[in-house]
Amino acid sequence: SNPTVGILHRILNVSSATELAEVMGAVGLAQNFSAIKALSTEGIQQGHMTLHARTVAMAAGATPEIYDEVVDQLIGSGEIKVWKAKEIVESLRSRKSAPAAKASAPEKETQKLPAGFGKIILFGEHAAVYGSHV
């Protein structure tokens, strides 16, 4: 009835209700162990925000050379937003390229294309939160 269910059955490659129950049990245990680890270390909220900051840094165009610093500054600012990450990326790039820019020829202006950032939520608890596939 729900096309997502069919896709998930093919991804999981399960052929019986028993196998599906085993997979669901294993996933539930993995989530519980992950939550226990988060609670006993940095906390669930902080861990989630760190993961989100990493995604936002990539969306803002952070290169491998500045990626970790962008993530650290995002977390430190408390503003885990693409606009903030872009500010940080530009700041780091201008700071690191200032001496080199004086010696090199001006770079050719590149065409800016419109872009959007977001998440694709197929299934799971977030799909329920956003009202999909419930």
> How is residue 80 annotated by DSSP?
-
Tell me the residue ranges of DSSP E strands in the chain: none
pLDDT at 134 over 50: no
10-14, 70-74, 101-105: the lowest-pLDDT one: 101-105
Residue ranges per structural domain of the chain: 1-41, 43-96+116-134
Cα within 13 Å of Cα(92), Cβ side:
22
> How is residue 14 annotated by DSSP?
-
Give pLDDT, residue 36: 85
| Angle, CA of 77, 55 and 68, to the nearest 5° | 60
* pTM of the entire predicted model: 0.49
Give the pLDDT confidence of 32-71 residue by residue, as tens digits.
888 888 778 877 667 778 888 998 999 999 999 999 999 9
Give pLDDT, residue 120: 58
Distance CA 31, CA 86 (A): 32
> How is residue 13 annotated by DSSP?
T
